[in-house]
Amino acid sequence: MLTRRTALGLLGASAFATRVAAEARHVYDLRPVQIAEGVWMIEGATEYFTDKIGGAIVNIALLKGATGLIVIDTGPSRRYGEALAGLARQLDIRGVSAVVNTHHHPDHFFGNQVFAGTPIFGLGETQSAAFEEGDAFADNMYRLLGDWMRGTEVVPPGQVIEGGDVEIDGRRFTTFPLGGHTVADLALLDHATGTLVAGDLVFYDRAPTTPSADLARWQTSLDALEGIGAAQLVPGHGPVDRDRKAIAQTRAYLTWLDGTLRSGAREGLDMIDLMQAPLPPEFAGMGAQPQEYHRSISHLFPEIERQELPLASSL
């Protein structure tokens, strides 16, 4: 007879085998978890972006509308979008009624083409940034993810959404047009459940990414999100937050990052010196560290150095 421990071990082994098989076939294994009445979340991996998981690092929010599912962000590829569409049919036989993109980073909107017959909402600046940068993002994603990306085309959001109270497929939201993680970051508060879908303005237990960041503006956006006092928050990456910790954690990390790079510049350190310095314990355990810290140094340090040492950089 199997002991409980053995049975659990076998279950674990078979789940592992399923996952390995899925990876071999380049199939996304999406598992929505209900986080409120009529609201589900697919939690992305918090590890560093790799082709092992097909770039599935992003969180997706699914909300039940009057006629179908409202999908917030669509993942990194056509295949991911197809998996999402299949899942929507499982949760709600009427399929997807509307799509919203929180911002123009490729892991959040490259599944859009699957929903081309559905309204796809995004901020105006997100739409233009997706047109401007989408092809370069696509080149990079094909290089990083290879076959996972097959057939993926860049489809920017087609419907411009603005700030304020809006109704999408019978569901009421307040939308917040913010920025700082990118040029335009949209957050949405679902009225029925008090769920705030924060996009990548908030990362939780996963290091924030900064390739398009304006850190000062990002901090202002975090203040705005904190003022909402939402019942729960879906970050762009990391677990759902019901303890009001995720905004504070993102703010603390960005404050530390900015301060570390500025004092490093003033002390005459270079990028290699900064990369070799150990991360403080509260940030070292975040997913995708130290890789994201290292990327942030390369994104942000040249400009910070110019600001802190204007004479030296003009010589």
**Contact mark string toward Zn ion, 182..201, x via CB under 5 A:** ------------------x-
CB contact set of 113 (below 8 Å; sequence gap of 6+): 78, 81, 152, 153, 155
Q: Which range, of 31-39, 41-49, 79-87, 100-108, touches Zn ion by CB under 5 A?
A: 100-108
| Residue 200 or 305 with smaller CB distance to Zn ion | 200
Site residue total, Zn ion (CB under 5 A): 2
| Residue 200 or 241 with smaller CB distance to Zn ion | 200
User: Which burial class, exposed, middle or buried, applies to 312 when counting CB atoms under 10 A from its CB (0-12, 13-18, 19+)?
Assistant: exposed
CA 198 – CA 57 distance, rounded (Å): 15
78 binds Zn ion (CB under 5 A): no
Q: Which range, of 22-30, 77-85, 99-107, 110-118, touches Zn ion by CB under 5 A?
A: 99-107
**Contact mark string toward Zn ion, 147..186, x via CB under 5 A:** ----------------------------------------
Nearest distance from C-beta of residue 195 to Zn ion, angstroms:
19
292 binds Zn ion (CB under 5 A): no
| Residue 44 or 68 with smaller CB distance to Zn ion | 44
105 binds Zn ion (CB under 5 A): yes
Binding site for Zn ion (CB under 5 A): 105, 200
